A and B are shown apart, each in its own frame.
Chain A
């Protein structure tokens, strides 16, 4: 009896040791990620939250101002509200356009027999390239005064017209529809062919099939893409930055939220104010996502629900 009690103290049970060792190894493998998450995400976030309550010009130590950055933002800064309106307009233009195009191309690719792999890559390529600064600069040249679009359509440069410049920015994002397209394509391939066959036998038109089969069956994928693209759209920066040469012009027409944030932080050296703006953005994105999830109950259909 004594020996059995003393046993754990002498040596761990045979099974425990490998388990603890496995845990150790897991932590070792995880450590780059854990270090990254702490050092590159959590810590900066904490600092940013602190800075949002301070006046910090990058050079002198931060100085506590309480909620002043937040009150100034909401009550004294017309340019802030202009950036909010610009961003919302952008989201409303870019997200539906991008998803519609992605779905249309995915549908076309699905029914394609030959060369699907080629076209899939061809349409996906802009998503890889599009985020780069160089493509954005090319875009700027195309839509500039005297650029290709000007020469073809004679409309003058889009990027030089306050009414058109945001559309040029949105088009650059819309063109990068590759990622949602690939997801749509995967979703479309999940829909059982029998459903269409049955519908065809019943004499349903193509459109009817699309509305009654494709859309409901695809709705979880559609929802996923909508949430992801909306979150991304709220954070748009590179295309607006490149197209307006970092100024948000002409006449503040492309001054999206993140660009005004950048302007406050790095041009005007008001890091505290910029941090406060970043936290408001985080909260707004959180709220918008929550709202999307709420509405999804009404229109997203999960096949498994039928079995309940």
Chain B
């Protein structure tokens, strides 16, 4: 009798114990535990860990749990976590995510934490890119722009003149062709897969990816001629073959340049630091090609943002950590330009002379473009996040010669219109 009565209680106790194990994020020793997630490469990881250690030393009551992955995987994981109401306390965000996440109520209004989170040293225009409907949901961490990163030694040894100043897409293609002739390797990653490269090409012609009212800013004809251009170079062997291009996933390790199978790669400037570890011959940066009349297509963009979860139990601590990552001179010294050139102007001025190695390269590269570029486009509409992948997939059909550039372009535009409508 006693046994049967005791049993439900025992089961209930067990269940409670099991459930309690899942809840609560304060650790056993009473510390506040903040989860902080970001995307990046091992170089960024190493410096981030060091900066986090510095923060933890200064704030013994706060424990930061970090995790990172490549951009593609990060994007998916974060969307899932956010949907499940389990977004990390502090998260790195892309320009393309802010709109959607802010709309969905995932992000904390950082304006309320103004006391701890200082923004006075950030360029107001740049700061505004983290704002949706006048609420500051995210703080930009750095400024970035696209670049043609190249393997210096191989290029120099090939005898082909190094890139100097600006070049048009035609001149770029010609230079890649010479590189292919001299080295036998493709000059560049096939740019056809990349929505970012397409945007630079479009802007070079005075067009845009999206219109102000969040519709497509280009036509099937535009995309057809871009893919015809890229596909032609691929058929010549001037840019990477389809087998290489299809492995691109946003990490530098999987680019043809990173694998030693091409001489250049068009990428954002901050992640290009990752090439340093992969190439013995050193990495240098050249500007992106311009339109045929010299109109620049690339632009300065807030490279990435930090935001906090609307559900975090520790809003003040999260704000404190974000403030540290953005405004602390010690953190800036460690982080360098790994997330773009710092946005805090006094911090930037303070660390600029001390920037070493690749950070120096990025800083000099950006300085060389200062005043030459056009204004950034407005933040992309939320459907764009999925369209980036669609863009790559549709180009796969072209590079594997399963569709003509026009067929693929028609496919893309149809899908994009459906995506942007919903």
Interface residues of A, Cβ cutoff 8 Å to B: 21, 24-25, 28, 31-32, 55, 57-60, 76, 78, 145, 156-157, 160-162, 245-252, 263, 266-271
Q: With a CB–CB cut-off of 8 A, which chain A residues contact B386?
A: 267-269
Chain A CB within 8 A of B402 CB: yes
The reply to whether A31 and B11 contact each other, CB–CB distance below 8 Å, is yes
Given the known A-B contacts A247-B393, A268-B386, are A59 and B101 also in contact in the complex, defined by CB atoms under 8 Å? Answer: yes
Chain B neighbourhood of A251, CB < 8 A: 242, 246, 393, 396-397, 399-400, 402
Checking B11, B243, B385 against A160 with a beta-carbon cut-off of 8 angstroms, the contacting residue is: B243
Contacts of A55 in B (CB 8 A): 422
**Given A59-B106, A60-B104, A245-B247, is A266 in contact with B8 using a C-beta cutoff of 8 Å?**
no
Residues of B within 8 A of A268 (CB): 385-386, 389, 419
Q: A160-B247, A247-B393 are in contact. Are A270 and B422 (CB under 8 A)?
A: yes
Binding site for A on B (CB under 8 A): 4, 7-8, 11, 72-73, 75-76, 79-80, 82-83, 100-101, 103-106, 242-244, 246-247, 249, 382, 385-386, 389, 392-393, 396-397, 399-400, 402, 411, 418-419, 422
A271 nearest in chain B by CB position? B83
The verdict on A250 contacting B246 (CB below 8 Å), with A25-B4, A268-B419 known, is: yes
3 A-B pairs closest in CB distance: A59-B104, A268-B386, A58-B83
Task: Give Cα A31 to B389, complex, Å.
Answer: 44
Selected contact of A249 from candidates B4, B73, B393, B418, CB within 8 Å:
B393
Known: A59-B103, A245-B247. A267 touches B400 (CB 8 A): no
Inside 8 A of B242's CB, which chain A residues have their CB? Answer: 160, 250-251
> How far apart sit A250 and B240, CA to CA, in the bound complex (Å)?
15
Q: Do A269 and B243 contact each other (CB < 8 Å), given the known contacts A28-B11, A60-B104?
A: no
Contacts of A58 in B (CB 8 A): 79, 82-83, 104
Contact of A250 with B396 in the complex, beta carbons under 8 Å:
yes
A-B contact count (CB 8 A): 94
CA–CA, A271 and B84, complex, Å: 12
Query: Is there an interface contact between A250 and B243, defined as CB atoms closer than 8 Å?
Result: yes
Contact B7 A245 (CB under 8 A): no
Considering the chains assembled together, what is the distance between the CA atoms of A162 and B402 in angstroms?
10
Contact across chains for B7 and A157 when beta carbons are under 8 A apart: no
Query: In chain B, what residue has the closest Cβ to A273?
Result: B422
Residues of B within 8 A of A249 (CB): 246, 393, 396
On whether the beta carbons of A59 and B105 are closer than 8 Å, the reply is: yes
Evaluate whether A162 and B400 lie within 8 angstroms (CB atoms) in the complex, with A145-B243, A267-B386 already known: yes
**Pair B389/A267 contact, Cβ less than 8 Å:** yes
With CB as the reference atom, state the residue of chain A lying closest to B1: A21
Contact A252 B246 (CB under 8 A): no
Chain A residue nearest in CB terms to B242: A250
B246 and A160 form a contact (CB under 8 A): yes
Q: By the criterion CB–CB under 8 Å, are A247 and B106 in contact?
A: no
Q: Which residue of B lies closest to A59 (CB)?
A: B104
The residue of chain B having its C-beta at the shortest distance from the C-beta of A244 within the complex is B246
Interfacial chain A residues near B82, Cβ < 8 Å:
58-59
A-B contact pairs, 14 of them (CB 8 A): A28-B11, A55-B422, A58-B79, A58-B83, A58-B104, A59-B82, A59-B105, A60-B103, A247-B389, A249-B393, A250-B243, A250-B400, A263-B389, A270-B422
